[in-house]
Amino acid sequence: MPRRLVYFGISLAVVALDQLTKAIVSARIPLHDTIPVIRGFFDLTHVKNTGAAFGIFASLGSPARATILTLVAGGVFLAVLAWSLSSPVTLTRLQTALALVLGGAVGNLIDRIRFHSVTDFLRFYVDRWEWPSFNVADSAISVGVVLLAWDIWRHPGKEPETCTQN
């Protein structure tokens, strides 16, 4: 059981860092303002994302969009939690990946429930090419998904229980 607490701690740390950074951005950077950090590459910018990850579905005008996205996020959270709890705690890479995804999902779910949008503030770009703004929760989810993909790539066709962590 203590090992599960480590993964719970990872998720909790992601949620805390995500919510802290969003609160700081919301308090110190007016909505739609930008602070250049590395000119021509990276800015802090305060935007509200009413869509899914990286602004997907933000342009849909449906009044039910926020409710649907909240329900989908809640469903993903429950599915990932079930996967984590049903997988052996000894699979370090898998459990770490799932903990990152869970923490990120909860961080963004808190915003969706409280504000019907998610605060994004990390903006990377080069010249006219720009990556959609994102936040700490999105980063944790992305790293978690990469770790999951790595695990699947390293052990193709095997069930997670039979994989050994290297």
**Looking at the 3D structure of the chain, how many domains does it have?**
1
Q: Tell me if the pTM is above 0.75.
A: yes
Q: Which residues are catalytic?
A: 120, 138
Mean pLDDT of the 24-45 span = 97
**Greater model confidence, 94 or 157:** 94
**Greater model confidence, 25 or 54:** 25
Residue range of the domain that includes 52 = 2-162
Mean pLDDT of the 30-43 span = 96
Say if residue 147's pLDDT is above 50. Answer: yes
Please give the order of strands across the beta sheet that includes 129-130: 34-38, 42-49, 118-126, 129-130
Q: What are the backbone angles phi and psi of residue 124, rounded to the nearest 5°?
A: -115, 140
Say if residue 166's pLDDT is above 50. Answer: no
Mean pLDDT of the 5-22 span = 97
**What residues contact residue 24 under an 8 Å CB cut-off, 6+ apart?**
none
Nearest to 80 by CA among 29, 158, 14: 14
